[in-house]
Amino acid sequence: MSAAPARRVWDALARVADPEIPVVNIVEMGIVRDVRVDGERAVVDMTPTFSACPALHVIRDAIAGAVRAEGLTPEVRTVLSPPWTTDWITEEARAKLETYGIAPPAPTGEGTLIQLEMAPPRCPRCGSFDTGIRNTFGSTLCKTLHVCHACGEPFEAFKSL
């Protein structure tokens, strides 16, 4: 098995936008765990950000389509252990999230699986930490809705998982 076909698949998957946050792709979000190419078949292991993620089927279909576009037969496997963590989001994706107006998650390190009481996120618009939570769920399950007391702007923040 050559590394070249697997690299082509990784590159193709890096062009698949996250369906809920189109400024980042599924590779830099840490959703794609592994790619193996054996002959004409490509096996892609993926871990959803949440096991009940409403975009899971869209992501699986997009992965399969990207593999087919490379002339390979896709096998998309969902791997739930270990569970996805926001620590898998690349620095590039964190910067893209912030530019898009979403506060990136704080590193979780070796902490609990989900942090119920997050430290106030930095406002992606003005940089202030003088922010408050408005709702524990934003437009998706993985985000919370905040407001910045310094600039008055609402924004979403990724939950640290």
What integer pLDDT is reported at residue 124 of this predicted model?
A: 93
b/e sequence 63-79, b meaning 16+ C-beta within 10 Å: bbebbeeeebebebeee
pLDDT digits (tens, 9 = 90+) for 14-68: 999 999 999 999 999 999 999 999 999 999 999 998 877 888 999 999 999 999 9
CA 40 to chain centre: 28
Banded model confidence at residue 1, pLDDT cuts 50, 70, 90:
very low
Banded model confidence at residue 76, pLDDT cuts 50, 70, 90:
very high
What integer pLDDT is reported at residue 139 of this predicted model?
A: 81
Domains of the chain: 3-78 (3.30.300.130), 101-158 (no CATH)
Q: Tell me what the mean pLDDT of segment 5-15 comes to.
A: 96
- CB count within 10 Å of CB 147 equals 17
DSSP one-letter string for 78-126: E--SSPP-GGGS-HHHHHHHHHHTEEPPPP-TTS-SS-SSPPPPPPTTT
What integer pLDDT is reported at residue 128 of this predicted model?
A: 95
Q: Give me the sheet containing 102-103, strands edge to edge.
A: 102-103, 154-158, 143-148, 131-135
pLDDT digits (tens, 9 = 90+) for 77-131: 999 999 999 999 999 999 999 999 999 988 776 555 555 566 789 999 999 999 9
Banded model confidence at residue 142, pLDDT cuts 50, 70, 90:
confident
What integer pLDDT is reported at residue 51 of this predicted model?
A: 76
Q: Which helix (H) or strand (E) holds 59?
A: helix 56-69
**Structure token digits, residue 94:** 């964190």
Q: 153 or 3: whose pLDDT is higher?
A: 153
CA distance 1 to 68: 18
Q: 138 or 94: whose pLDDT is higher?
A: 94
